[in-house]
Amino acid sequence: MKIVLQRVKQASVTNDSVENKIKKGYCLLVGVGKTSTESDSAAIAKKIVNARLFEDAEGKLNLNLQQVNGEILSISQFTLYADVRKGNRPGFTQSMSPDRANELYEHFNDTLRSYGINVQTGEFGTDMLVDIANDGPVTIIYESQDGKII
């Protein structure tokens, strides 16, 4: 499982059937690979919730999402598993099949919510307009395999 986290002042996602937005927090682009598991989603969720990516009174990154009452906008992003080694068109054979990927994506979001975080989402498997006000910028890539952060 791969996740690109961006710390944001605000973020929103819209399409024909979804319009969700958050204030201060994280915008997550969530990729589910062929070998991703529930253990991977749990490991990354725990790491993200506890990550100290917000500034304290001295300007140091010492506060986590819960300490600043932050929110999460989680957006499925199968293209994180693009293979660009050959040719000019990416291949997506390393992405998990949509049905199972959606289950893991929802499991990941439910795990984040279990920490008391407000989690908004996009609509799985559709084109969406994502609008973010990046804060920092702070952008971190998380990856897990076999239930361990790598």
pLDDT digits (tens, 9 = 90+) for 47-62: 999 999 999 999 999 9
59 φ/ψ sector (left φ>0, alpha ψ -120 to 50, else beta): left
State which amino acid sits at residue 58: E
What positions carry a catalytic annotation?
77-79
pLDDT beyond 90 at 16: no
> What does pLDDT average to over the chain?
96
Residue among 148, 134, 110 at smallest CA distance from 25: 134
Q: Is the dihedral of CA 97, 100, 102, 106 positive or negative?
A: negative
CATH number of 2-149: 3.50.80.10
Strand partners, 74: 28, 121
Q: How far apart, in whole angstroms, are the C-alpha atoms of residue 16 and residue 11?
A: 17
Domain ranges of the chain: 2-149
